[in-house]
């Protein structure tokens, strides 16, 4: 059995990301959220576009008001009102001021802003009651970024802040990586679809739907191949078809040591190189990771356990990092771990790195983990709903006391308060 961290590192080394020249498409800005940039975005403008005011007040010459105080105010003549969006029409001369609102262009001649709280106005005369600093409250042109500078880099995920930047840069379209295609198939004679009558001894195939949902959640396209019976000929054809159609393949079941576990043998018959067959984690010990080196680019194949919780944990721990790298992200591929205080005692067998699911809560004293109630069995899906993190009990440890700090695999960013 390979330790989890070693397995993750080995898997990431096997991933060949999408190509920024071949695997890209252009989408509108309103369709770009969650996509990965396949090009760097260069600013076509200075930001700010011009000197502008950060506050409501008066644009003045620093030389005129540097000695102002409440006891000896400086009086100036207001020659213009400048709202945001209207270019100034006049130059501020000695003894003059321009009324200016937040975001408005600073007029020629002015080199500082006096906020309106430090003034007293009567008609077209304004008294300055406090001296501002030179260039106070002026956002100077190009101080955020200059024309020709890089705004965003290849591999950045487009989130709402990036959308705002792209819109401000007048980019109505952007070039992104296409969505990776992930083929998903379930193996087992016992499986039926959710809309079939359930007969004694049968099991509903939840893995197909759970894995498809996880793939969608990560911005990829699931290609659901359905249920394949434990027949070597049918399974071989199904895997061959999946490999031809997808950028990554996920199968569940058939990777342990049972009489009907054919996946590894079939992969070798199809020319795959098998790199991993089991990992030292619970749940999820059986895990096949293979590549098809003759395919260009090489394809990564994951044979996940058939038990539903094991399949989910294997995806969160090993498939998700690989999919992040495949999608074109430049870094931050690895699983994210947080530290939290456990509300309950956490128990494990000690021979494998054990994952216990539950919820994370933010509190004034820090992050806390609450263990899900009920059985933590690889076959029990019921209490995994609402899971936000998996508490990790390391190899060699059989118990973590309540109130202790614990490492948590973060799978859901919506933390509960």
Cα(38)–Cα(371) distance, integer angstroms: 40
Tens-digit pLDDT profile for residues 227-241: 999 899 999 999 999
Residue 76, φ and ψ in degrees, nearest 5 = -130, 160
Tens-digit pLDDT profile for residues 117-161: 999 999 999 999 999 999 999 999 999 999 999 999 999 999 999
Q: Compute CA distances 274 → 42, 142, 173, 232, 280, whole Å.
A: 42, 54, 41, 18, 17
Cα(239)–Cα(395) distance, integer angstroms: 34
pLDDT at 157: 94
Tens-digit pLDDT profile for residues 381-410: 999 999 999 999 999 999 999 999 999 999
Query: Looking at residues 285-294, what average pLDDT do you find?
Result: 94
pLDDT at 260: 57
Q: Give the residue from 325, 343, 342 showing the smallest Cα distance to 333.
A: 325
Tens-digit pLDDT profile for residues 178-228: 999 999 999 999 999 999 999 999 999 999 999 999 999 999 999 999 999
Cα(163)–Cα(367) distance, integer angstroms: 30
Tokens of 281: 């984690």
Query: Has residue 415 got a pLDDT over 80?
Result: no
CB 84 within 8 A of CB 138: no
Tens-digit pLDDT profile for residues 344-357: 999 999 999 999 99
Write the secondary structure of the chain as one string of H (helix), E (strand) and C (coil): CECHHHHHHHHHHHCCCCCCCCCEEEEEHHHCCCCEECCCEECCCCECCCCEECCCEEEECHHHHCCCCCCCCEEEEEEEEECCCCCCCCCCCCCEEEEECCCCECCCCCCEEEEHHHEEEECCEEEECCCCCCCCCEECCCCCECCCCEEECCCCECCHHHHHHHHHCCCCEEEEECCCEEEEEEECCCEECCCCCCCCCCEECCHHHHHHHHHHHCCCEEEEEEEECCCHHHHHHHHHHHHHHCCEEEEECCCCCCCCCCHHHHHHHCCCEEEEEEECEECCCEEEEEEECCCCCCEEEEEECCCHHHHHHHHHHHHHHHHHHHCCCCCCCCCCEEEEEECCCEECCCCCEEEEEEEEEEECCEEEEEECCCCCCCCCCHHHCCCCEEEEECCCCCEECCCCEEEEEECCCCCEC
Q: Which domains does the chain have, with CATH numbers?
A: 4-18+179-326 (3.40.980.10), 24-47+143-177 (3.90.105.10), 52-139 (2.170.190.11), 337-410 (2.40.340.10)
Query: Has residue 417 got a pLDDT over 50?
Result: no
Tens-digit pLDDT profile for residues 353-381: 999 999 999 999 999 999 999 999 998 89
pLDDT at 259: 58
pLDDT at 331: 85
Cα(180)–Cα(329) distance, integer angstroms: 12
pLDDT at 258: 62
pLDDT at 247: 97
Cα(232)–Cα(107) distance, integer angstroms: 79
Query: Has residue 284 got a pLDDT over 50?
Result: yes
Query: Has residue 257 got a pLDDT over 70?
Result: no
Tokens of 184: 């998903």
State the chain's mean pLDDT as an integer: 94
Q: Give the residue from 65, 300, 80, 312 showing the smallest Cα distance to 183.
A: 300
Query: Looking at residues 251-264, what average pLDDT do you find?
Result: 78
Distance from the first to the final alpha carbon of the chain: 38
């Amino acid at each position: 059995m390979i330790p989890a961290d070693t397995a993750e590192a080995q898997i990431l080394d096997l991933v060949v990301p999408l190509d920024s020249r071949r695997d890209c498409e252009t989408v509108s800005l309103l369709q770009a959220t969650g996509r990965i940039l396949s090009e760097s975005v260069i600013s076509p403008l200075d930001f700010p576009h011009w000197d502008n005011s950060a506050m409501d007040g008066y644009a003045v010459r620093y030389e005129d008001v540097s000695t102002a105080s409440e006891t000896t105010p400086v009086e100036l003549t207001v020659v213009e009102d400048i709202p945001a969006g209207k270019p100034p029409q006049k130059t501020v001369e000695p003894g003059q001021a321009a009324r200016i609102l937040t975001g408005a262009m600073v007029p020629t001649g002015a080199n500082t802003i006096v906020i309106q709280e430090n003034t007293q106005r009567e008609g077209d005369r304004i008294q300055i009651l406090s001296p501002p600093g030179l260039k106070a409250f002026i956002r100077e042109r190009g101080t955020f970024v200059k024309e020709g500078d890089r705004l965003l880099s290849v591999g950045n995920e487009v989130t709402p802040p990036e959308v705002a930047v792209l819109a401000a840069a007048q980019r109505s379209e952007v070039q992104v990586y296409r969505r990776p295609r992930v083929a998903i198939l379930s193996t087992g004679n016992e499986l039926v679809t959710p809309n079939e009558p359930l007969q004694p001894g049968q099991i509903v195939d939840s893995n197909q739907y759970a894995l498809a949902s996880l793939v969608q959640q990560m911005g990829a396209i699931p290609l659901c191949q359905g249920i394949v019976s434990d027949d070597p000929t049918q399974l071989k054809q199904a895997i061959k078809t999946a490999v031809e159609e997808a950028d990554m393949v996920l199968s569940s079941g058939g990777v342990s040591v049972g009489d009907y576990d054919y996946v590894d043998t079939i992969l070798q018959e199809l020319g795959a190189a098998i790199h991993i067959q089991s990992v030292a984690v619970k749940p999820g010990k059986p895990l096949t990771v293979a590549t098809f080196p003759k395919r260009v680019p090489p394809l990564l194949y994951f044979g996940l356990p058939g038990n539903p919780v094991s399949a989910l944990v294997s995806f969160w721990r090993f498939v998700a990092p690989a999919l992040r790298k495949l999608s074109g992200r430049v870094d931050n591929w690895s699983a994210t771990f947080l530290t939290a205080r456990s509300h309950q005692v956490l128990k494990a067998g000690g021979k494998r790195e054990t994952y216990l699911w539950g919820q994370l809560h933010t509190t004034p004293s820090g992050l806390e983990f609450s263990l899900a109630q009920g059985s933590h069995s690889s076959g029990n899906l019921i209490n995994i709903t609402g899971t936000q993190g998996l508490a990790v009990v390391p190899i060699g440890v059989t118990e973590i006391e309540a109130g202790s700090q614990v490492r948590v695999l973060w799978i859901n960013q919506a933390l509960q308060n």
